[in-house]
Amino acid sequence: MSRIGQQPIPVGDGVTVTVAANNVVTAKGPKGELMVPVDPDLTVKVEDGEVLVERPTEQQRHRSMHGLYRSLIDNAVIGVTEGYKKQLEVIGVGYRAEVNNGVLELALGFSHPIYFLPPDDISITTESARGKNPIITIEGIDKQMVGQVAAKIRALRPPEPYKGKGVRYVGEYVRRKAGKTAAR
């Protein structure tokens, strides 16, 4: 059984964490501000540069909420100090990715280009060098939002198992299959 909820969350320099009356935890830091609504059964305390989450009983529901909200608050504190980043790699002949006026433009082998407008809190950059696959970098302070945007871009053309073409996370392993000629 995990005891992640009992660990205190360290609050670094330049970060302020406040708990409102309606059990909303607000983390303000150099990169921005995030708010995490916490279940009303749990209590959140800020003491000596640490955030503590406590549960009222040992019920299964309270135990699971304890670890969940502790992780969400920790993600918010890390997000406002360091931020989150995901990188995607575009693999395929003629596949391109570039950012024009804040809009990601992708050529993924379809008959038309794909335009992806990121949410306000997310910044997208691309880098492409001759002879290398284009890399899409997604950055933001909200971990869930960064992961969601990366997953949406990847879903536009997921990597296929025969040639490996498509959009994949940097370092992602794609299991390859043998084609029809291997059966002979």
pLDDT of residue 35: 94
Q: Which CATH architecture has domain 4-81?
A: Alpha-Beta Complex (3.90)
Please check whether the two domains, 4-81 and 84-169, share a CATH topology.
yes
pLDDT of residue 84: 96
pLDDT of residue 125: 95
CATH code that applies to domain 84-169 = 3.90.930.12
pLDDT of residue 181: 79
Contacts for 171 with CB less than 8 Å, ≥ 6 apart: none
Domain boundaries, the chain: 4-81, 84-169
Local mean pLDDT, 10-residue blocks, the chain (184 residues):
82 90 92 93 91 91 92 94 95 93 94 94 92 94 96 95 93 89 65
User: Which of 2, 173, 166 has the alpha carbon at shortest distance from 90?
Assistant: 166
Dist CA 172 CA 89 (whole Å): 9
